[in-house]
Amino acid sequence: MNPNILNISPYNAEREDLPIKLDIMENPHNLPQKIKNKIKKKIDKISFNRYPSPSALALREKLETYTGVSKEVILVGNGSDELILYILLACGGFKKKVIFPTPTFPMYEIIGKIAGCETIGIPLKPDFELNCEGIIKEGKKNSIIFIAYPNNPTGNCFEIEAILKIIKETESIVVIDEAYFEFSKKTFVDILSQYDRLAIIRTFSKGFGLAGIRCGYIMANPQFIDCLKLVKPPYNLNTLTQEIALICLKERDIINGFIEKIIKEREWLYLNLSKIKGIIAYRSLANFILFKTKNPQSLYSSLLKEGILIKKVDDYLRVSIGKHKENKAFIRAVEANLKIY
Ligand code: PMP
């Protein structure tokens, strides 16, 4: 066995189908029939016997329009997870450090270990801001620093000045993970071309509601992208995924409608969660809310018994934004449970 993976705990991503599933930040809206019909029509035209486009040119062209970043410096993969793997296979390895704030998306650490890097988590400050000095000290050089923006599970976007300081005061690679960009509408794209060591990853899993087709993309400088191409298998992104992502990029009005609905629901959920005695909820710019209560395990288990699945993260609980009916049921269940204690 590869010694790098001896001490890894596997990412627990077992699918659990409960009536109200608010655990892993999925978009609660399935694609509408209009888009599904377009996909069906497209399927009739696909040559399934042929390998997919290795460069996914058509998709990258559409992404250029969507992001404002040249298609030459965009690379696509099977979700952000695969892109994190490419980054670390290309830039990580022996004597390299992977640095991330904690708590954050666990895959930076897991993939960092797989790639043979030393992994270092730097705890966030009590107000969930970055410990900028700590990150700079550890990651001065030979490091790949991951910053989720907004962060999972805290839901906040870290102060821009702190992130810029990290980029400027280290000689390391800084990866900004904008998985929740469609909800936060905050991005580092505008300054991407100014820094050779900066990369941005995004996904279709959240705002676009396409977690099931696995599609993500990375934007970086040309040398960085060339480096990633050395580790990317030629036909990594299958034809169906490329076509469906393309169709959804063309149907932005419908997708945007869902995103706005989720943002509205997020504000509703935050307000109503905050009103409950015994709950401290944290403001979020993503499609989930982190909250605190005295006995998180007990509330988690009670909700589970009622068919509501959320996520326990250390001493906190995290709930994804669902449809209004689901959010209402969740609030009602939390209220009822906290009254009992
Ligand atoms: N980045 C962050 C910050 C996430 O929270 C998640 C998933 N929860 C991902 C990436 C995963 O994205 P993908 O589905 O594209 O692998």
Q: Name the residue with the closest Cα to ligand 1, atom 15.
A: 79
pLDDT at 341: 54
Pocket test of ligand 1: the residue of 80, 186, 320 to mutate, having most ligand atoms within 8 Å of its CB, is 80
Q: Which atom of ligand 1 approaches the CA of 205 most closely?
A: 14
Q: What's the residue count for the chain?
A: 341
User: Across the beta sheet with 74-77, what order do the strands follow?
Assistant: 74-77, 216-219, 198-203, 173-177, 143-148, 97-102, 118-123
User: Cα–Cα distance between 211 and 27 in angstroms, integer?
Assistant: 8
Ligand 1 mean position, distance from CA 86 (Å): 15
Rg of the chain over Cα atoms, rounded to whole angstroms, equals 20
Residue 15 is predicted with a pLDDT of: 65
Q: Whose CA is nearest to atom 12 of ligand 1?
A: 80
Per-residue pLDDT, 201: 98
Residue with tokens 């909800």: 183
Q: What is the pLDDT of residues 236-260, one digit of tens each?
A: 999 999 999 999 999 999 999 999 9
Query: Both tokens of residue 62?
Result: 């559409």
Q: Report how far ligand 1's centroid is from the alpha carbon of 179 (Å).
A: 6
Buried b (16+ CB within 10 A) or exposed e, 305-338: ebebbbbeeeebbbbbbbeeebbebbbebbbebb
pTM for this one? Answer: 0.97
pLDDT of residue 3: 86
Q: State the distance from the centre of ligand 1 to the C-alpha of 80, rounded, in angstroms.
A: 6
Q: Tell me phi and psi for residue 112, to 5 degrees.
A: -55, -45
CB 178 less than 6 A from any atom of ligand 1: no
pLDDT value of position 9:
80
- Per-residue pLDDT of 185-237, as tens digits, reads 999 999 999 999 999 999 999 999 999 999 999 999 999 999 999 999 999 99
How many Å separate Cα 333 from the centre of its chain? Answer: 28
Cα(60) to ligand 1 centroid in Å equals 20
User: Using a 6 Å cutoff on CB, does residue 287 contact ligand 1?
Assistant: no
Tell me which residues of the chain have a pLDDT lower than 70: 12-15, 340-341
Q: How far is the CA of 147 from the centre of ligand 1 (A)?
A: 12
Verify whether ligand 1 is closer than 6 Å to residue 326 (CB atom): no
For residue 87, the CA-to-ligand 1 centroid distance in Å is 15
